[in-house]
Structure 1
Amino acid sequence: MHAAKSVSPVRVAVIQCDPQSGAENRERNMALSLSLAQQAVEGGANLIVLPELSSTGYTFQTREQAFLHAEAVPEGASVQKWISFARANNVYLAAGLVEQAGMKLFDSAVLVGPEGFIGVYRKAHLWNQEKLWFSPGDLGFPVFETPIGRIGLLICWDIWFPEVPRLLSQQGADIICSLNNWVWTPPPLFDEAGRCMASYLTMTAAHVNNVFIAAANRVGTDRGERFLGCSLIAGTNGWPLGPVADAEQETILFADIDLSSTRSAPIWNDLNDLHRDRRADLYDAMLGYTGHPQLPR
């Protein structure tokens, strides 16, 4: 027997790095992100995920500081550099930044590729002091069609709200790029396997939605805030495809997947299909989620 041919083969790379806050660090942050992204390209990646706020660092002390880090999308310098990189290397790249739209700031993620700017997602669920700098996202939960597959985006605290990956999967996302600044919280932070709760939430979301999730977190300390790593790439069955990153080191994780396989993955056997087994008749009035392309119209 011959293995099924990969219809949409992708090598995903998740970059775990240490960007720092402060306008004086912006060039350093961009150089770091592009250097690590270049290493990912040299490792064969064609879909690369950087952490949340990878161009700016995470910790602001005043709203004015947040504005000093902000830029328009897609006209801003960071997005334009990421676009140039994606075009030059024929790759897709998801990266986080502070977006300014009028007088509002958003904790945003952009998706760029060889064709240029593809789209933006604005973080819907704001964590702690983020509420002092940013407005809650107002663009919903878009899924972007690309030549390599359907790509959804979420940011950090979003993964604690099961509606987010569910809405993305119900719109047919083949992979969710999860851009994060997971912080140290009161213990226990890690289990005996060295995994944090955010890793398990990512694995669970991948499992219950039968979708790949590539989660890039950061490491290091930024103005007294510590970050816990644990980046991973979860398969459609929820289990990590390769190692879960540790809590300290900058690193790049790779996984070879066929993105199109998510389109048959919901069918576990003749009688069990996650999307069709949903009891929308009981809870649809509260939740919705009826947009999956495999469901009958």
Structure 2
Amino acid sequence: MTTIAAVAANFTRDLEQNYATIADYAERARARGVEFLVFPEAAIGGYLSSLGNHGDTVKNTNRSLPPAISLDGPEIARVQSIIGDLVIAIGFCELAEDGVTRYNAAAVLDGDRIYGSYRKVHQPLGENMSYSSGTDYRVFDTPVGRVGLQICYDKAFPEAARVMALDGAEIIASLSAWPAARTATAENLQEDRWTYRFNLFDMARALDNQVFWIAANQAGTFGSLRYVGNAKIVDPGGNVLDSTLLDSGMAVADVDISGTFTAMRGGMFHLRDRRPDAYGPLTDLDPTGSANWRDLASA
């Protein structure tokens, strides 16, 4: 059995507070025998203070932007000194090699090694005012299995999880700073329509690809954003094994990765039963919906 966990917590611009929160959850994880712990998007330095047409930009809100850090910088090294032999996934703002370009990024690592990193591909609501976008998805071999990384809005795109599942991902870690709806927000955030979408995407992507899905999310508030928490573990059948709901905390589950895969994929195996020959027009379709599928298919 492998013990995996997802964190819901609040992370801001206060790096020392962030490190303390990381240390607290790492200690809790060790006490419960956790082997793989997933922190939210932007756990080092916090997320943007707002989104949409008034989102943070380098020009208009320099002070509110997350600190841009390098994979080989002191911030990541500090996290590694905290976690020791615990394998984690964690989000941060990555400074590219040119010293200027910023990415919304995540890495999977332990105290001695960075197994891989990812730069967010899909950007919502003006996030491109603050970050450049990544261009690919990869899967990394780790002590807990083959792990894929994605960030927040990526979960709305089935292709993002599918390409990693096809590359052998056993676990997909989905790190988020997912807020409640900006308009007509539900009084009870657990009933908010954006909370519903967050949870539905997590279950659907796990079931689509028959993988273990670990969803971490920010909780509390930052700037104009109210986060919905709901960190969770979902099994390859789309079943939620544990969830924090709206609260800060840690969702934990003991899972038999190889045994579950054998059982789930022994009958209906979605990856095996794909029909790529029928999907040819997929990337040629006009995103506005004006292209004619039948015309493209017969071309």
Same fold (TM over 0.5): yes
Moved over 6 A (4+): none
For the Cα contact (< 8 Å) 1:182–1:227, is it kept in 2? yes
- Establish whether residue 17 from structure 1 lines up as the match of residue 9 from structure 2: yes
Alpha-carbon deviation of 1:128? 1.6
Alpha-carbon deviation of 1:266? 5.0
For the Cα contact (< 8 Å) 2:172–2:211, is it kept in 1? yes
Alpha-carbon deviation of 1:82? 2.3
* Aligned twin of 2:150: 154
Alpha-carbon deviation of 1:107? 0.3
* Aligned twin of 2:244: 245
What is the total number of aligned residue pairs between the two structures? Answer: 267
Q: Matches of residues 201-212 of structure 1 in structure 2 within 5 Å?
A: 201-212=201-212
CA distance in 2, matches of 1:221, 1:121: 25
User: Which TM-score applies when normalising by structure 1?
Assistant: 0.83
One-letter amino acid matched to 1:14: A
CA offsets 1:144-183 (integer angstroms, 9 cap, x no match): 0123210110100000011011111111101001100111
Select the residue among 130, 135, 140 that pairs with 2:132: 135
- Establish whether residue 172 from structure 1 lines up as the match of residue 164 from structure 2: no
* Aligned twin of 2:90: 95
CA distance in 1, matches of 2:271, 2:225: 39
User: Which TM-score applies when normalising by structure 2?
Assistant: 0.83
* Aligned twin of 1:294: none
CA offsets 1:19-76 (integer angstroms, 9 cap, x no match): 12x3xx1111121122122211111111000000001111244413466601111x12
For the Cα contact (< 8 Å) 2:235–2:241, is it kept in 1? yes
| CA separation of 1:265 and 1:130: change in aligned 2, threshold 3 A | farther
Q: Percent identity?
A: 30
* Aligned twin of 1:58: 47
Alpha-carbon deviation of 1:118? 1.1
CA distance in 1, matches of 2:169, 2:263: 12
Select the residue among 255, 258, 278 that pairs with 2:256: 258
Select the residue among 19, 24, 28 that pairs with 1:39: 28
CA offsets 1:203-259 (integer angstroms, 9 cap, x no match): 0110111000000011111012111111110001001012x2222x21111100122
For the Cα contact (< 8 Å) 2:219–2:248, is it kept in 1? yes
| CA separation of 1:252 and 1:68: change in aligned 2, threshold 3 A | closer
Name the Cα RMSD after superposition. Answer: 2.1
What secondary structure is seen at the aligned counterpart in 2 of 1:241? strand
CA offsets 1:98-130 (integer angstroms, 9 cap, x no match): 000021100000110254111110000112232
What secondary structure is seen at the aligned counterpart in 2 of 1:11? strand
For the Cα contact (< 8 Å) 2:195–2:228, is it kept in 1? no
* Aligned twin of 1:163: 159
| CA separation of 1:130 and 1:16: change in aligned 2, threshold 3 A | same
CA distance in 1, matches of 2:7, 2:66: 25
* Deviates further, 61-70 or 126-135: 61-70
What secondary structure is seen at the aligned counterpart in 2 of 1:264? helix
